[in-house]
Amino acid sequence: MKVAVLGSGGMGGVHADVYTKLENVRLTGVCDVRIEQAEKLAARTGATAYSSFDRMLEEADFDVISIALPTYLHKEFAIKAAKAKKHIICEKPIALTAEDAKEMIAVCEDNGVRLFVGHVVRFFPDYANMKAALDSGKLGRPGVAHASRIGGHPGGWFADDSRSGGVILDLMIHDLDFLRSCFGEVSSVYALNAKKDTLDYALVTLHFDNGTIANVESNWGYPGPFHTKAEIAGSKGIIRANSLKSSSLQIAKQGSSNDPGASVVIPGSPGFRSPYELQLEHFLSCISDGGNPIVTADDALKALEVALAAKESIRTGKVVYMQGGRNQ
């Protein structure tokens, strides 16, 4: 299968590197308006660099495109790719508005191409393990859940709410999607948010149709290592994940010769296959065999709708009841 990558930033690089590792997959093109970025990635992966997507569509040979652009550009390029009959793997969140997401889904359907959205937390082994414990019944009926995603502010276009949607649309959406995969549809959303300089912090409480309550925390502005935490407490048991505590590798090093006192500790949690690799391999196999993905474009739309409800709650100060939920 031949693939190309649009966008040579952080996630574009991840996608491209994974494609070079997967068997029976060939990365033919990488594209970025910042041509030097594209060339760097091309040099690393052996693909051809393009600065124009139109040009890549004309010249490069590929069936699948990874769209790893800033969120506000997803719709425009997804529609362009769909019309060129390319299957699409789009980074999360699917779009900035539900209307845009629905249009992307519709255009892909009309053009007979698949659309996948990179809600990669479904492929993180710690999260998959939590969901498996829940699904096995070991936790009994789920009652109260927590999920936290904490790291530094990524800056750049992420800092512009009109392009990224802020911490809720860009970061928390991972947990919103994961929790929906665990507990089903959300009936109401209440959210709190603080935005100051390089801090974007949100607390969102979800109430699910199945009765479960979840409080979701996201922090762009933490001056320490990125980490995630989650807990599901049920009538029969509790499962807890904490990426800091489950680090299986820690490297402690003396500081540089300039400053030998300043030691550094680098935590890690290595695996033979990264969640991104598992995700992209899964999406490509769905394209080959026509199978249904673990996470669908509709799931991505639903997670976006929950995220947008959270933003509405912040704006109005009210609880937002989702369609079909209790109306006030």
Binding site for other proteins (CB under 8 A): 141-144, 146, 150, 188, 190, 192, 194, 196-197, 199, 201, 203, 205, 207, 211-213, 215, 217, 219, 221-224, 233-235, 237-238, 317-319, 321, 326, 328
Q: Half-sphere exposure of 118 toward its Cβ, with a 13 Å CA cutoff?
A: 24
Of the two residues 256 and 328, which places its CB atom closer to other proteins in the complex? 328
Smallest gap from residue 215 Cβ to other proteins (A): 5
Smallest gap from residue 28 Cβ to other proteins (A): 44
Smallest gap from residue 151 Cβ to other proteins (A): 11
Smallest gap from residue 310 Cβ to other proteins (A): 13
Of the two residues 9 and 143, which places its CB atom closer to other proteins in the complex? 143
Is it true that the peptide bond before 225 is cis, omega within 30 degrees of 0? no
Give yes or no for a contact between 218 and 175, defined as CB atoms under 8 angstroms apart. yes
Q: What's the one-letter identity of residue 219? A: N
Of the two residues 112 and 155, which places its CB atom closer to other proteins in the complex? 155
Smallest gap from residue 129 Cβ to other proteins (A): 18
Cα 198 to Cα 72, 151, 164, 188, 320: the distances in Å are 21, 12, 14, 29, 27
Q: Give the β-pairing of 186-196 and 227-234.
A: unpaired
Give yes or no for a contact between 238 and 213, defined as CB atoms under 8 angstroms apart. no
Instruction: Go through 252-289 and write b for each residue having 16 or more CB atoms within 10 A of its CB, e for each that does not.
Output: eeeeeeeeeeeeeeebeeeeeebbbbbbbbbbbebbee
Smallest gap from residue 149 Cβ to other proteins (A): 13
Smallest gap from residue 16 Cβ to other proteins (A): 34
Of the two residues 126 and 217, which places its CB atom closer to other proteins in the complex? 217
Of the two residues 52 and 198, which places its CB atom closer to other proteins in the complex? 198
Q: Give the β-pairing of 238-242 and 227-234.
A: antiparallel
Of the two residues 165 and 325, which places its CB atom closer to other proteins in the complex? 325
Of the two residues 43 and 199, which places its CB atom closer to other proteins in the complex? 199
